[in-house]
A and B are shown apart, each in its own frame.
Chain A
Amino acid sequence: MIRHPRRSVAASLVALVLLAACVLLAVAVVQHLLGQPPVLPFAELNALAAGLTGADVAFLALCGALALVGLVLVVVALRPGTPTVLPLADRDGAGVTDTGITRRSLDRALSHAATGVDGITRASVSSSRRKASVSAHASFGDAAALRTAVRDAVSERLAEIGPARSPRVRVKVTGTKES
């Protein structure tokens, strides 16, 4: 099982703009029907459009902006985004439960494993399905040895968790003299 972001921010934004536009339009139309001056100046807008031709820069710019916003929304909708839940391998013999782990807790567990290595004071992990990048900060020790130790610790933890596809572990150690 893999889950992707819900795109709630983009959706809320578009829904809010749509709602505001509809409320404004409805209020203006009701005011127009009641004979009051509407909040949207329909007559002025009409005059503006009557003074514009399709070849005017203002019209072209407006259409370009519209197309750009549309393109952005299409890209937001089609791009899957960084997964929020990564799939775990099925257990042997039991194939009914589709299991995944949140990417955030996978990162946390792996960085926990990395900080368990002697000499590593801080570690942060950013994982995807293909790659787990570990960036560890060491207070002392040999960078190459630490890199190997961290990679081993992280790989061991990964094997315990059991992702469907084992990501390649990449380790960067900072803080030692060599780096």
Chain B
Amino acid sequence: MAAANPPARLNRSLLLLIGLVLLVAGAAGLAFGSGALRSLLPGLDPSVPLLPGALDPPAWVPWVTLAAAVVVGLLALRWLLAQARRRPRTTRWGLPAAQVAGRDAGSTRLHSDHAAAALAADVESYDGVQRAAAVLTGDRTRPEVYLDVTAETGADLAALRGLIDDHALPRLRSALGADGARTELVLRLVEAKRAARVG
């Protein structure tokens, strides 16, 4: 599965990467300052100043710094914006060209969101389902299906899962001409809308 729960994997990798960089940098600084590195690299003397008094960097240094700051800044912005995207990336599919009277009658395009909406509508028609949302990704003939179904607390979950497996998904597969579909289903339970507890 590419990314079922974005941006969880991205966050995890980047936090780990940045954490490791900071950890290694800090630890190296500590080792250098405490003189622990001297046995390994005798040239590192912690008792000399960190920088010479008058630093005169070459003319390209500001430009490289500027470029690096802009690139890293844009990546950070992108990372920040990625927090807003909570669903897998969808795609546009081309359906096989239809043959009408022996001639190619053009191609059909379908955005996976529209196929997903039809699937969600099917699931919403089942007993006890309050809301359903679907996302389809991947290849049209072997899509990955992410279903998010909100059912009432008293709903018969086994029957609901049976309907999804034996009715909604086969309908989707036949509509797309897909061989199979990997499906992830997340169930949520809420109190029934009209249920009033007496007492």
Binding site of A, secondary structure by majority: helix, strand, loop or mixed? Answer: helix
Cα A41 to Cα B185 in complex, Å, equals 55
Of the candidate stretches A54-62, A144-152, A165-173, the one touching chain B is: A54-62
Contact call A98/B184, Cβ cutoff below 8 A: yes
A112:B191 contact, CB within 8 angstroms: yes
User: Would you call B161 and A91 a contact (CB within 8 A)?
Assistant: yes
Taking the nearest CB of chain B, how far is it from the CB of A76, in angstroms? 6
Bound together, the chains give a CA A56 to CA B66 distance in angstroms of 30
B105-138 residues at the A interface, CB under 8 angstroms: none
Contact B22 A98 (CB under 8 A): no
B188 touches A105 (CB 8 A): yes
B1 CB to closest chain A CB (Å) equals 9
Question: Is B14 at the interface (CB under 8 A from chain A)?
Answer: yes
Does residue A164 face the partner (Cβ distance < 8 Å to B)? no
Residues 58-72 of B, flagged 1 when their CB comes within 8 A of A and 0 if not, give: 000011011001101
Does B25 count as interface, using CB distance less than 8 angstroms? Answer: yes
Interface residues on B, range: 35 or more
A96:B165 contact, CB within 8 angstroms: yes
Least CB distance from A96 to B in Å reads 6
A residues 63-84 near B (Cβ < 8 Å) are 63-78
Does the CB pair A16–B47 fall under 8 Å?
A: no
**Distance in Å: Cβ of B37 to nearest Cβ of chain A:** 9
| Contact present for B188 and A74 (CB under 8 Å) | no
With both chains docked as a complex, state the minimum distance between the C-beta of A133 and any C-beta of chain B, in angstroms.
Answer: 19
Contact status A96-B21, CB under 8 Å: no
Query: Is A11 located at the chain interface by the 8 A CB criterion?
Result: yes
Q: Are B35 and A74 in contact (CB under 8 A)?
A: no
When chains A and B are docked, how far (Å) is the Cα of A100 from the Cα of B34? 51
Is the C-beta of B153 less than 8 angstroms from some C-beta in chain A? Answer: yes
Give CA–CA (A47, B55) in the complex, Å.
9
- Is A85 an interface residue when CB atoms closer than 8 A count as contact? yes
CA distance A52 to B29 in the complex (A): 13
Give A76 to B18 CA distance when docked, in angstroms: 11
User: Known: A11-B15, A12-B83, A112-B153. Is A63-B7 also a contact (CB below 8 A)?
Assistant: no
Any B CB within 8 A of the CB of A36: no
Contacts of A131 in B (CB 8 A): none
CB-defined contacts of A73 to chain B, threshold 8 Å: 15-16, 18-19, 22-23
Q: Which of A12, A29, A53, A160 contacts B49 (CB 8 A)?
A: A53
Min Cβ gap A119→B in Å is 11
List residues of chain B with CB within 8 A of the CB of A122: none
B48 contact set on A, CB distance < 8 A: 53-54
Q: Quote the shortest CB–CB distance from B163 to chain A (angstroms).
A: 11
Task: State whether the Cβ of B198 lies closer than 8 Å to any Cβ in chain A.
Answer: no
Partner of B189, one of A19, A25, A60, A109: A109
Chain A residues near B34: list those with CB within 8 A: 55, 60
CA–CA, A161 and B16, complex, Å:
36
Q: How far is the CA of A70 from the CA of B35 in the complex (A)?
A: 22
> Does A18 lie within 8 Å of B25, measured CB to CB?
no
Q: Which of B15, B25, B44, B165 has the most CB of A within 10 A?
A: B15
Given contacts A70-B25, A99-B185, 13 further A-B contacts (CB under 8 A): A1-B185, A5-B8, A8-B83, A11-B10, A14-B14, A26-B73, A51-B49, A53-B47, A66-B29, A67-B23, A73-B16, A85-B186, A105-B190
